[in-house]
Amino acid sequence: MWFGVVSLFPEMFELARGYGVLGRAMTAGSVIIEVFNPRTYTSDRHQSVDDRPYGGGPGMVMLYEPLVQAIEAARTAAPSEAEVVYLSPQGQTFTQKDAREVSNRESMILICGRYEGIDQRVIERVVDRQLSIGDYVLSGGELAALVVIDAAARLLPGTVGNQASIIEESHLDGLLDYPQYTRPEIAGGLSVPAVLMSGDHNAIKAWRRDKAVEQTYRLRPEMLTGRKLTEEERLALARADLT
Ligand code: 9WO
């Protein structure tokens, strides 16, 4: 998948190449990140990319022209028509469903703002959609863009470690993960649940599904109240004495 990223800090995306699943996907070429720096598209002697806000107030606002030219360059370089997404706290919250949807695309353009934001006319003229990764303010959109790229990259077929864990994960869709254990058998005075040592794969599967439902109910009940429970989930909660 191809990501065109518009950012004043291209090095932040090169860093990703060095680490883990996303790094390997970049090295293997299944994820291509091409950065377009608005600084390249300035016309004044100081290569200005920002200016003071009309109406006054603190900080600076990213200029329309360099930003739109960088976005146009990204559009031209994209292998297919790409949606233009602005990472901002004003967007809808990015979810696992969005990650899956992004991973099914061939290309996407991500705009990373800096300073106090970008000229509103960029949003009106070229941005298709705003996405937020959560309700907090960062110092720029780059880390949010990397979150979107990372979440989509690990879902791409051929990404190392992909298949088995992704299938397992989508099987327990909308639920938190079940508890995991590894050696030794006793750690901190706590034993591994006996069922996991039993070798009974059906019992292990059932236990994990029960625990996923139970953990979700206990830790993030709103993830369940937002939708209808499946019969399996209702039974799991009953077994845990939670309903
Ligand atoms: C700064 C600011 C200062 C005074 C009054 C209002 C203000 N708003 C902002 C602001 O939102 N700055 C943003 C910094 C401008 C766009 C890039 N920045 C950003 C993106 N911060 N946080 C995000 C972000 C993106 C996606 N998901 C969560 C947060």
Listed residue (93, 92, 97, 242) closest to 169, CA to CA: 97
Q: What is the mean pLDDT of residues 105-119?
A: 98
Q: Is 51 helix (H, G, I), strand (E, B) or coil?
A: strand
The residues that bridge with 61 in the sheet, in sequence order, are: 51
User: Quick one: pLDDT band at residue 172, thresholds 50, 70, 90?
Assistant: confident
Q: Position of tokens 């004495």?
A: 241
Give this prediction's pTM.
Answer: 0.96
Mutate to test the pocket of ligand 1, among 12, 130, 138 (most ligand atoms within 8 A of CB): 138
pLDDT tens track for 11-49: 999 999 999 999 999 999 999 999 999 999 999 999 999
Second CATH level (architecture) for the domain 173-239:
Orthogonal Bundle (1.10)
The first and second tokens of residue 135, run together, are 């309700």
Query: What pLDDT score was predicted for residue 217?
Result: 96
* Domain range annotation of the chain: 2-153, 173-239
Task: Say what the pLDDT of residue 66 is.
Answer: 98
Mean pLDDT on 123-136: 98
For residue 138, the CA-to-ligand 1 centroid distance in Å is 6
Residue 209 DSSP label: H
Q: Return the sign of the alpha-carbon dihedral for residues 31, 32, 37, 43.
A: negative
Whose CA is closest to 169, among 90, 161, 200, 11?
161
- Token pair, residue 42, equals 């300035």
Pick the CATH number of 2-153 from 3.40.1280.10, 3.40.640.10, 1.10.3720.10, 3.30.43.10: 3.40.1280.10
Summarize the confidence of residues 211-217 as an average pLDDT.
96
Lowest mean pLDDT among 75-79, 93-97, 137-141, 169-173: 169-173
Distances from the Cα of 236 to the Cαs of 119, 195, 208, 231, 241, in angstroms?
51, 16, 10, 9, 9
pLDDT confidence of residue 161: 66
Whole-number Å distance, alpha carbon 80 to ligand 1 midpoint, is 29
Over residues 62-111, the pLDDT tens digits come to 999 999 999 999 999 999 999 999 999 999 999 999 999 999 999 999 99
The residue whose CA has the least distance to atom 21 of ligand 1 is 138
**116: CA distance to ligand 1 center in Å?**
6
Q: Is the pLDDT at 203 greater than 80, yes or no?
A: yes
